[in-house]
Structure formats: C-alpha cells, structure tokens
Structure 1
Amino acid sequence: MSGRPPPFDARKRPEALSAMIQSNPTPDGPAAAGQISRGIVVCGGGKRYFTCAWVLVSLLRHHGCLLPIEFWHRGPAELDTGMADLIAAKDVTVRDATGVFAPGIDRQPEMLRLGAIAASAFDEVLYVDADCAPLTDISVLFDWPGVAELGLLLFPGRGDIGEANPAWPLAGLASRSVPSVDPGLVVIDRRRHRDLVAQAIRLAGALTPAALPGQRPASALLLAALAAGRPFGLAPYTPFDVELDLIHRDLQGEAMVQHRRTSKWHLGGQDRETPDDASTRAARDSLIELGRQWSGAIFQAPADAAVAEQDALIATGRFVYQSGDSRWRLLTLHRGGRIGAGRAEFEQHWAVVERDGEPVLQFYSDIRLAIEFRRLADGTWRGASCGPPGFAARLAAADTPGLTVAPP
C-alpha cells in the first residue's frame, strides 16, 4: 500500500541543523553509465555484525537470491583482509567506507546505512541490516506494488514516533504521532530519491544524540520523506514482535524477514531459531562453515610485517605442521593472517616479521603471540612456543617429500 504523508507546517529547519547540512556534503555513487540496475546493500563490520552478515548472505543465497551484494564496513579495525576474502567468496563486493563518505557520515548507524545507499553502485537498492534473517527470496520486494510507481518502500517498525519525540523540530515538522518504520529494511530507487537520501543523511546526524533515553532514533528516511511531502510505499502488515525481534511479513501476511535486533548470531552458540526450520538449519550450517575458516577475531598484523615473505607463503598456501609430539597435520595460510585448515588454540592467526635481517614466522593464539619460527636452509620452518606450555614446532610445504599428514 502507498500513501502521502499528512500536511505539516512550513517552518524552516533550525539554524543548527542548517549549519550541519552546509558542512556535511552528501556522498555520491559512480556515474550512471557504470551502475548495476539492482542489488542488495549490507553494512556489517566488526566481529558481531560480520558474523550476522555472513549468515545473512548465506541465507540470501540459500533462498535463491542471485542479486549482487555490496558489503560495507568502516575500515580495517572492523574487517581484516582475511574476513573480507571470506565473504567476497560468496559473490559479494566488499566496500570500505573510509575515504568514500564525507567526514562524519559513518558516525551513526543510520548515517552509515544511508551513506552506503547513496554511494552504492546500484540504481535500485534493497538495503538490509546485517542482523536480518531472510526466510524466502526477498529480491521479490523490487516487484511489490508501489515500488515501480513511487521508488520507495518502507516497512513498519515497533511502536510510534510520538508527539514528544525531539525528532519533529529537528526535521522542521509539527509534532504528531505516526507509526515508526524499521530503518533496517528499505527498497529505494536512488535515481529518483537522491535528494531524499541526502536530506536523510544530514538529518540522521542530529537524531541519534537527540533520541529519548531507551528509545531508538526515528528513521531519518521517513522524516525526510514527510518533510518533503514525498509519497512512499508501506508494507501492508505490521511485523510480529517476538522478544523485540521484528518479523516482517509478505503480501500474504506470512513471515518473510526476521530482524534479529536482540538475538544476534554467534559462532559456536545456540542461537534463537528463525520462524522457518529450513532457514534455521541453513543459518546454523553457515555458522559451522564460518567457524571452520575464521577464528572469530579481527587480526591486526604487526606494523613491521614482511609483506613479500607473507605473499610467498600465501602463494604456497598448503603446508604440513607439527607441534610438540603430535603428528603432522595439514595447515593452510591465507591473506590477512587467516589460518584455515589446521587452525587450533595456538594457531589462530599468522604473520611474518623481519628480525636481524631474517624472516620470522609468527603464530598467534586468540590473546598473544604463541609460536615463532626461523626458516632453515632447506626452506622448512622450525620454531618453539613463546611461553608455557613449552613445545617445539615445525612447518613445511605440503609437497615436501617424506612428511606424512595425519588423517582427518
């Protein structure tokens, strides 16, 4: 269903907001000639939201969604190279917001969402929060009634934006009470609503600091649409509210997307089920897959890393490894300090530094430097633990003659 917002007074925005608008220019996407027509945009850096985004992308593909996906993050503190490579392998374009947005645009979650939409390579964007769990192929949202005509589809949220909400004067609107929308699920045509997204970005920077205690900020996109008198589509059913998670519904009223606002996905945890058994199984299978390939930590490589030596080991890729009196086992080294197969307590991440003119291979546990190796004349590596429990360790290319790998 669609609707035009109710009338509002024509008061000018407060001077403070106008000043912020002047000093906070809007990001822009690539030239139209290079844009892809439709795609999905997700923001999800950091350990918690990377895990959620991994499940989201896995579920999208599980349900047959073939749309291209952009995954936005705020630099290496939120996403290391190994994590980026992992999610890129699911046919995802990883985009770093650092340097793309105008200063301050990634300050608040809502600003990052809107900035990613504005800077996306897609003309028509389906924005989905990382902690959403699709229960079906949600690419059909582009074909919902009102999307083609209006170019903007919003989804009801939880509760109302009440008359006492400080968002109204910030948006230059008369106070009123209107149903809220969920900013974590939006369909928008950027070509038709570029100005609306720009206005929402400018407004979002003021909404979070002004939000009432214990309340989520009002949707900047909704307020911008109201202020502009811009008609928009609205999903016809209010969501089910299950312990503060929102379950959005399709045109028949059936569960379509679970927005897991309080029940995030975790590696190795028993997470809350989705409303769909098959989706729950697929989500948990994806977490097992992720756990096999990722430690669950963001790895910051040493500043003095020996990049050329690391690249050589990455090119080799497959190694055999032995620690203490254990048998040789397969171990794989990847970009960004990620250890894939063979990862264990003292072998979570890796790096190479230069010391006394020679390369030193380092293995890290989840809390400290655990093992250091020196390279021998035959090209293999020999080392020892850096603390208790004391043990020796060896590493060699997987095709080294005479080394037997323990069966899995």
Structure 2
Amino acid sequence: MIAAGGDTLLPCLWVLLHRLRATGCSLPVEVWHLGEDEMPGDIRKLLSEKFPFTTLIDAFAVREKHPVKILKGWELKVFAMLHCSFKEVLLLDADNVPMVDPTSVFQNPAYLDRGALFWPDQNRHARGRNAWRAFGIPPEDDWEVESGQVLVNKGRHWRALNLAMHLNEHSDYYYRLFYGDKESFYFAWKLLNEPFAMAPHPMQRLQQWTMIQFHPTTGELLFQHRHGAKWRISHNPRIHSFNAEEECLTHLSELRQLWPTGVERLHRRQHDGEKKILRQFEEGKHCTLKSKNGGCHFLSFRQDGEVDDPSGTFRWWHPHGSRLVLQTHDHAFWEFACIDDAQGDWQGVTQGEFHGSLLSERSDGDDQIHRAVSKDALYALSISGISKRANALSTTVTLQSTGLVADPSGNQTGDWGVQAGNLHLRIRGTRCLLKANGSDFVGECTITTRRSVKLASAKFIEDGLGPKQANNTDLPALTSGREVSNQLTKA
C-alpha cells in the first residue's frame, strides 16, 4: 500500500512502481491519494496502463463512508492501511526505493510471531518527552519508528491500527506530543500493550538525504528511503552510493516523455527561485567559476542536470530553493546565491574551497576565447613599451584548463580567466587585459613597480613550436614568470 499523489510524490511513485517490478515483486499494489487534484486524469490513465497490477483509490471518496476529522498527507497513511483491501499490509512511502523483492518480509519469523514489524529510526525515545506523561505510560528506551516501511497484520492488530487512526485524525493535538504518523504506530501499540517486532539492523544514512533499511531476516540492503531528496521530474541531486540511481533517472526520463502536460504542471508549481534558476541555466549556458585561490573552472550546463567541466571537478547541477547547487564527482555540494540579477553573478555560500567564490555568466565572446585557449597549448607572451630603456620582454607559458598558468617546466606561475569578452592573464606581479584579434590576443599590461603603476602593450600569440623551439625566437626568451616580474620591476 502506497499513499501518494500531488506534485511532490507523483515522480517518486513512478520510480517506486518501476523498481518494485524490477525486483521481481508480484504482489498487488494499492495507491491511495487525496482527490482528483492529486491524481489528474492523464496520470491516472498512464499509471493504469503502465502498471496494471496497481489499483488507484481516492481516499476522499472512502472518507464519505468512513468519516475522519483530519485527512492530509501523514494522516492518509494510517487511513489507507485501515481501509485497504489487504489483510496483511506492507506500507511503503512513495519516496522509498526497494532493492530486493520485499515479499519475503511477510515470512520473517519475528513478524509471524507478533503480527507487526517496524523499522528503527536514527534516535531512541527520550525519557523526558511530554508524550509519556500525556499517555500515562512509563518511558521506554526503544528505537523510534521510521515509517517509510511498516508491516502489519490487520487481523491481529485491528484495535491498535484504529487507535493509530484516532491519533492521526486528531493530529492538531497529538502531533504536538510526537512527530507525525511514524510515532503514532509506536504509541498506539504501547498504549494497548500489543506486541510488535523491530527490525534488528540499525538504520544507516546516505549523505543525510537517504535512510537505508535492511532485511530483518537476511540483513541485506532492502530499502533506500529518499526522504530528503525526493525524485523530481528533472535535475535530481545525486547521492553517493545510492544503488540503481541511473536506472531511477532513466525511469524519470521516460515519465518526462510520456507525461508532457504533467511536466508543465509540475514546473509551474515549482518554487519561484527554482523556476528562475532553471530559466537562467538553460541548455548551452556557459559560466566561469572562480575559486578563492585564483583557479578558474569553465562550465557548461546541460538541461538534463549534467555539467560539462573540462577540469573534471563538477559533474551535476540542480536548483535548491533559490540557490544553485553544483555537485562534484565525489558528491561534494557547493551552493551559490544570486548577488546580481543583471550580471548573472552568483556568490558561493558553501564552506570549503569555493566559499566566497564568484560564478559569472559567460558571453559568446568569452566562450570563443575559452575554446581557443583552454587546450593546454603553449603561448608566447611579449610585452613592450614599458619604458624607453627597457627591452621587449617575452616568455613561453601554458594555459591549463584548470585556469592556471605554468612555465615550460610545469611550474605554476599565475592564473588566467575570461570575462566580458576579455582574456585576463596574471603572472606574478604582472596583469594583462587582452582582447581577441583573430587567433591572437592584444591589449594592455598593468605593471606595478616600486614607484608607480605603468601600462605597456602586450601581445599573446599561440606558439605551435613547443617550448624548446620557442626559446630560440628573436625575442629574448624568459623561462619563468618570476623573471618576467623581476625585469618588469626593474623597468
């Protein structure tokens, strides 16, 4: 039995039904929802055709025969368990993903002995909570219940399930004593002194967004409950070590194709900040990310949530409220908040290497420059016009795709970046601002001496001869950025 419907849970339901059948599970399924708004006609038709083993039930219609005071999302779970057609019910949250066929849990010895099987949450019950006093029962050091999955034999626990329904339909009072439907199971069973089994394996987490539960008999991974990262139509955060993640994303891709009206509907009801981000970072969007250590990353955002990053640092992106989140290959998260809508600049807000970094939009000219110089090629840089007595200066450098500048020996001598159609080059104390001139770049170089700041003309030409031949040019060659800085300082 699954309680699902509405914008948030329909994509989750689609994935769950696919994964149930992928495990080989052949049990019948009932999906309960709250009215037609939660289950529009087009998705109802699609679900019925795609998953013929599934029955869709409107809880509001059942409520006409079995009135309850309050019936919302959490309350629906117990209401549906009580009134579904099954005598033995395995409740699954829609954002749960089974990894093996859950049918065998019905044969678990502890469940057969007691008629109810719960799975542990991450915390034990606190002794000082108000619920103990309100219910008049002594505190217990039991695990709290994690209700992403609950197994109950209604024939043996009809009274306890009805008491749990009472606690939920009066949630305006009882939810002040405990947290939602999950603890209504525990306290209903405790108040009536009815037996239940608790799965013996502790719950574990994946990146604080997913709870994983284990088979009570075999100990193998059974459920992955994405409570903190529910499936979206698109742009889903990736969770490290999440099993069958690519298969789940494939199911969502199928849903986008089969349910276009629903995709539009879900997008319309998205958080305003998320819609703004999705509009801004459309297909082909290019950005430059500058970290606090001076490094640059040149990113292209794809509509499927992937990031093209030549440096190999970032792999995915997704909106989270009004923030833009980038994920690295090792599943680290970096969040950015928009600080300038007009310029499209985003300030990093995540602690770590990119704290305080700036993500800025790249123009077409920026992208053209980036494509021209980001292939770890060698370039000859000549600087002239420093003073009447100074000779022309030149050096051979490599622009690395990571945004760093290296000398022919591979030693870091500075960094480079692209913004507003200009190539910014920094080698030690020398800063150059260059514009594209065909395949070359020309512009000005700012030199800070002991006495003043001087401007010189700079020319930046791709050197296809390699470092050894480049050093044999007519211009006096310099082997490092430090020598450039020393000569410029003397000038």
| TM-score (norm: length of structure 1) | 0.59
1-side partners of 2:203 and 2:245: how far apart?
19
Match of 1:285 in 2: 250
One-letter amino acid of the counterpart of residue 49, structure 1: L
Paired residues for 1:105-116 under 5 Å: 107-116=71-80
Match of 2:284 in 1: none
The sequence identity of aligned pairs, in percent, is: 26
Which is strand-richer, 1 or 2?
2
Query: Which of 241, 261, 267 is the matching residue for 2:233?
Result: 267
1:269 Cα offset (Å) = 1.6
Query: Are the structure 2 counterparts of residues 84 and 263 from structure 1 closer, same or farther at C-alpha, using a change threshold of 3 Å?
Result: same
Q: Does 1:118 align with 2:82?
A: yes
Match of 1:84 in 2: 44
1:263 Cα offset (Å) = 0.9
User: Per-residue displacement from partner, 1:40-86 (whole Å, max 9, x unpaired)?
Assistant: x0001101101111111110011111111000000012111111112
2-side partners of 1:238 and 1:84: how far apart?
37
One-letter amino acid of the counterpart of residue 285, structure 1: T
1:271 Cα offset (Å) = 3.5
Query: Are the structure 2 counterparts of residues 214 and 123 from structure 1 closer, same or farther at C-alpha, using a change threshold of 3 Å?
Result: closer
Question: Tell me, what secondary structure is at the counterpart of 2:38?
Answer: coil
One-letter amino acid of the counterpart of residue 212, structure 2: I
Match of 2:18 in 1: 58
Question: Tell me, what secondary structure is at the counterpart of 2:18?
Answer: helix
Match of 1:95 in 2: 57
Q: Which runs of 5+ in 2 are unaligned?
A: 266-491
Match of 1:254 in 2: 220
Query: Which of 165, 171, 188 is the matching residue for 1:224?
Result: 188
Q: Does 1:44 align with 2:4?
A: yes
2-side partners of 1:139 and 1:288: how far apart?
28
One-letter amino acid of the counterpart of residue 120, structure 2: P
Match of 1:156 in 2: 120
Q: Is the 8 A contact 2:78 2:181 kept in 1?
A: no
1-side partners of 2:78 and 2:223: how far apart?
20
One-letter amino acid of the counterpart of residue 158, structure 2: R
Match of 1:378 in 2: none
Q: Which runs of 5+ in 1 are unaligned?
A: 1-40, 300-408
Paired residues for 1:4-403 under 5 Å: 41-89=1-49, 90-91=51-52, 92-101=54-63, 102-104=66-68, 107-206=71-170, 209-211=173-175, 219-242=183-206, 243-250=208-215, 251-273=217-239, 275=241, 277=243, 279-295=244-260, 296=262
Query: Are the structure 2 counterparts of residues 88 and 59 from structure 1 closer, same or farther at C-alpha, using a change threshold of 3 Å?
Result: same
One-letter amino acid of the counterpart of residue 184, structure 1: G
Q: Is the 8 A contact 2:70 2:171 kept in 1?
A: no
Question: Tell me, what secondary structure is at the counterpart of 1:93?
Answer: strand
Q: Is the 8 A contact 1:247 1:259 kept in 2?
A: yes
2-side partners of 1:157 and 1:201: how far apart?
21
Does 1 or 2 have the higher relative contact order (CA < 8 Å, sep 6+)? 1
Q: Is the 8 A contact 1:125 1:188 kept in 2?
A: yes
1:216 Cα offset (Å) = 5.4
Question: Tell me, what secondary structure is at the counterpart of 2:246?
Answer: helix
Q: Is the 8 A contact 1:108 1:208 kept in 2?
A: no
Q: Is the 8 A contact 2:34 2:72 kept in 1?
A: no
2-side partners of 1:247 and 1:274: how far apart?
13
Question: Tell me, what secondary structure is at the counterpart of 2:94?
Answer: coil
Query: Are the structure 2 counterparts of residues 260 and 202 from structure 1 closer, same or farther at C-alpha, using a change threshold of 3 Å?
Result: same
1-side partners of 2:186 and 2:123: how far apart?
14
2-side partners of 1:293 and 1:170: how far apart?
50
Match of 2:327 in 1: none
Match of 1:16 in 2: none
Q: Is the 8 A contact 1:167 1:218 kept in 2?
A: no
2-side partners of 1:188 and 1:204: how far apart?
17
Q: Is the 8 A contact 1:59 1:133 kept in 2?
A: yes
| TM-score (norm: length of structure 2) | 0.49
Q: CA RMSD in A?
A: 2.5
1-side partners of 2:254 and 2:15: how far apart?
10
Question: Tell me, what secondary structure is at the counterpart of 2:121?
Answer: strand
2-side partners of 1:217 and 1:234: how far apart?
17
Match of 2:359 in 1: none
